[in-house]
Amino acid sequence: MERLPTIVVGGGIGGLATALALARVGRPVHVLEKAPEFGEIGAGLQLAPNAMHVLDRLGVLGEISKHAVYPARLVWMDAIRAERITEVDLGDAFKRRFGHPYIVMHRGDLLNALLDGCKAERLITLATSRDVVSVEPGEDTVRVRCADGTTFSTELLVGADGLHSTVRRLIVDDEPVYDGYVAFRGTIPIQQMSAHAGLDNVVMWVGPQMHFVQYPIRRGELYNQVAVFKSPGFRPGNPEFGTAAELDAHYAQTCDYIRGCIQVMWRDKRWQMVDRHPILRWTRGRVALLGDAAHPMYQYIAQGACQAIEDALCLAKHLAARPNRPAEALTAYQNDRKLRTARVQITARAMGAYFHLAGVPAIVRNDLMERRRTDDYSMIDWLYGHRA
């Protein structure tokens, strides 16, 4: 059995950011990834200033900037009437207020930037095809067993293994929460998009039990689209719902422009929207949760990856302050993060309900949002202005 100082279970964005953050404070890390290679499923990703601050601290902004797009504004549109509701100016005033820009990019490009950073760090080792099937915490060590029979002993284990975390089962016995919403995602070459979309913007079209998000990625070469709607086929306990036929039927009520965009969506894969209820306990002895393993959330405010990145820096800070007291450091990390991430989880769910209003409530929402100034950032200060 190989004994290691720190093991991170999961080689996604949160896991690699954690490895890099821990190595930056002098802690050796071994990353165990279930898949045969490091990679990300999905396409587009939004990174707000709260995450950009951490990525800057980790020294990867230079590589990220080679692939990112810097949108000029976040635009809300009415999906039925094809009318602008409001927008958030992401220009100079935004950058002065929050210290960093708002960017969009391909998830794979961010993961590769973090992976390159990890490969260049002598304190980080990486292993693929390591499916962790059991974790046994002890008083001074944690034993990890993989599906191929490989076993490890470690002083500290971080579970960054996502929504269906194996490590989480050590700490809480709960299940993911489904509410019937489904997302279809896909990209097309930028040349195929109408300029009506605003090719330098992040555009979100809102409507009854649906929203549709568009923005450019990969240096502006691709256009990312996400179509979310509530499936009429959803039943509690049955996760098989949300077909392409349901997608077309639901979006038939939208304006001509969106109906045209729906026709070029990828149809071979869908993502069922799911989160879990917030929990206040993330640790057990020398084991801690991070990212979606700790606080999976709806993507409605684009903070899932951002919160995992915040976690990484916070964890490294506490371990650096208590290098010989890992259990104490993990408790301090948990206490630093649990209420903030719970607020983000709850806000994401609430914003989904706000996006998906219909009838008179939607009219009132639009009227309220139309009155705000484009440079009024007061409602997002708590989120984007946070420094992990």
Give pLDDT tens digits for 151-202: 999 999 999 999 999 999 999 999 999 999 999 998 989 888 766 556 789 9
Report the pLDDT averaged over residues 208-225. Answer: 94
Report the pLDDT averaged over residues 56-74. Answer: 96
State the pTM of this model.
Answer: 0.95
Cα–Cα distances in angstroms (integers) from residue 164 to residues 13, 32, 159, 259, 313, in the given order: 16, 16, 11, 34, 23
Residues near 225 by beta carbon (within 8 Å), at least 6 away in sequence? 185, 186, 187, 188, 212, 213, 214, 261, 264, 265
Report the pLDDT averaged over residues 226-247. Answer: 88
Least confident of 109-113, 144-148, 261-265, 282-286: 261-265
Does the active-site annotation cover 377? no
Residues of 60-93 as b/e, b for ≥16 C-beta within 10 angstroms? bbebbeebbbebebbbbbbbbeeeebbbbebeee
Report the pLDDT averaged over residues 34-62. Answer: 94
Q: Which pLDDT score is estimated for 131?
A: 96
Q: Which of 102, 178, 181, 215 is catalytic?
A: 215
DSSP state of 139: S
Report the pLDDT averaged over residues 318-335. Answer: 96
- pLDDT per residue as tens digits for the range 9-28: 999 999 999 999 999 999 99
Task: Give 240's pLDDT tier (boundaries 50, 70, 90).
Answer: confident
Question: Given a cut of 90, is residue 30 above it in pLDDT?
Answer: yes
- pLDDT per residue as tens digits for the range 192-208: 876 655 678 999 999 99
Q: Which pLDDT score is estimated for 186?
A: 87
Express as a percent the part of the chain with pLDDT over 70. Answer: 98
Rounded-to-integer distance, Cα 344 and Cα 380, Å = 11
Report the pLDDT averaged over residues 53-61. Answer: 97
DSSP H helices in the chain? 13-24, 49-57, 61-65, 92-98, 107-119, 244-251, 256-262, 304-321, 326-355, 359-370, 381-384
Q: Which pLDDT score is estimated for 3?
A: 81
Domains (range + CATH), the chain: 2-48+116-175+276-354 (3.50.50.60)
Q: Which pLDDT score is estimated for 335?
A: 97
Closest listed residue to residue 8, CA positions, set 155, 108, 122: 155
Report helix, strand or coil for 226. strand
